[in-house]
Amino acid sequence: MLKLFEEYLTYLSGEKNASVHTITAYKKDLEDYFAYLESRGIGETAADHLTIRRYLAFLRDQGLSKNSMARKMSSLRSYYRFLIRENVLEDNPLTLVSTPKETKKLPKFVHYEDIRELLEMPDATTAAGLRDRAMMELLYGGGLRVSEMCGLTLDQLMFPIRSVKVFGKGKKERLVPLGEPALKALTAYLEEGRPLLLKPENEEEKGVFLNQRNGHAITDRAVRDIIDKYVLKMSVTLKVSPHMLRHSYATHMLENGADIRIIQELLGHERLSTTQIYTHITKSHMMEIYNDAHPRGKKEE
């Protein structure tokens, strides 16, 4: 079955165009499942719906959240669909198993005043500062995922139409327009910052945003560390991740009247329901403002 598992991982990468992150997560989930089956002397092709339900109970007893259990079930469903497709199995044991209902959490966003302070933190007299400012402007000004931004190459920059070409989940391509601040920050970085970060031995490097130490394309982890560094210097106590800048982009666009279907396209969401969660955020934000500002909205002391 090991060979079949390897074929499945190749299928995810080659035919499904799954991201490295997705493949890694599915691989880990399935390895955990296989270990569970082995500990109970059950072959994976012998597992039935009762086996899967017992596995769910085992996960619950291990203290996993419903969201984590739902993700593991998604991995299993994908794998068993592959086994059916390859004629390894005739019946899918997950057909009679319900996925635990996920707990929906509203994405967190950052208020514009705090965003503006954060964007002004980098030192524009240094190469790293120019890079950091441009990165954060793209995360907030373009709503890019951090993986999309880290994967940007020079040929994806489309200055004549004030946009960047992005390859999102499933390697789906989309054009993301950029506002003047983002374009200005990106231009300054490319002209004055990137040449200083590019190492002589890496002259062929095509990544837009470079690591200061080795001159190669910057990583997700490095971007998170950079943002953490600036947040610690701010005048307010915040916890800001790169993805929160993307959430803030969508929330602020909605608050200012943007059509939700346009935002869906800009964010690269496959389903409108994924984008609609931001409407709940704006409603929640409006209630906060109402409760703080309206005489009849304030709670009595």
Catalytic residues: 145, 169, 243, 246, 269, 278
CA distance linking residue 112 with residue 248, whole number of Å: 8
Enumerate the β-bridge partners of residue 176.
164
Is 224 in contact with 242 (CB distance < 8 Å)?
A: yes
DSSP secondary structure string, 2-69? HHHHHHHHHHHHHTS---HHHHHHHHHHHHHHHHHHHHTT--TTT--HHHHHHHHHHHHHTT--HHHH
Residue 217 makes CB contacts below 8 A (sequence gap 6+) with 150, 151, 205, 207, 208, 209, 210, 211
Residue given tokens 């939700």 in the structure block = 260
CA distance linking residue 158 with residue 177, whole number of Å: 9
Is 176 in contact with 143 (CB distance < 8 Å)?
A: yes
CA distance linking residue 200 with residue 261, whole number of Å: 45
H/E element holding 278?
helix 272-293
Sign of the alpha-carbon torsion through 198, 203, 205, 208: positive
Is 93 in contact with 47 (CB distance < 8 Å)?
A: yes
